[in-house]
Amino acid sequence: MKTTFEILLTSRKVLFNFLEHNSVDKLNTIPEGYSNNLIWNIGHIIVVQQLLIYKLSGLPLMISDRMVAKYRKGTKPEEMVSQEEINEMKSLLFSTVEQTKLDFSNKIFKTYSEFTSMTGYTMTNAKEALEFNNYHEGLHLGIMMQIKKFI
């Protein structure tokens, strides 16, 4: 688990740098040919981690229902994201990882509703979900690197 969390934290640091080094306008820009933007990808990453690990374990999420509705799979940017929401994401990038790490060490993940991703990978427990989450974050990070070229 140590390596899994190190990979997750590394991903989150890269995402944080996108937030730190791009203006609100750039974060909200949807380049031609794309259906989303940098900030949507970051919100989506935060939401999916919570859904994969906590919701499917039957545990409360660390994020709002509003955030889930705005960034879950199948959504797209509908409005400009404010600096206030960006600041919240900066915090959530790391607070969710630290709490998840603590929750794994406290062994709170007792049950899990089996879930098969769009790629066909089936998760049967929270540990597998956390490992798959790193793959998911890597996919979106790649998309973000492409978007960055066009903004």
Tens digits of residue pLDDT in 53-79? 999 999 999 999 999 999 999 999 999
Taking the C-alpha atoms of residue 149 and residue 151, their distance in angstroms, rounded to an integer, is 6
Number of domains in the chain: 1
Q: pLDDT for 86-122, tens place per residue? A: 999 999 999 999 999 999 999 999 999 999 999 999 9
CB 52 within 8 A of CB 129: yes
4: confidence class by pLDDT, cuts 50, 70, 90: very high
Q: How far apart are CA 9 and CA 77, in angstroms?
A: 25
How far is it, in rounded angstroms, from Cα 93 to Cα 97?
7
CATH value at residue 72: 1.20.120.450
Q: What is the mean predicted confidence (pLDDT) over 8-33?
A: 97
Task: Find the domain containing 82 and state its range.
Answer: 2-148
pLDDT over 90 percentage in the chain: 99
* pTM of the complete model: 0.96
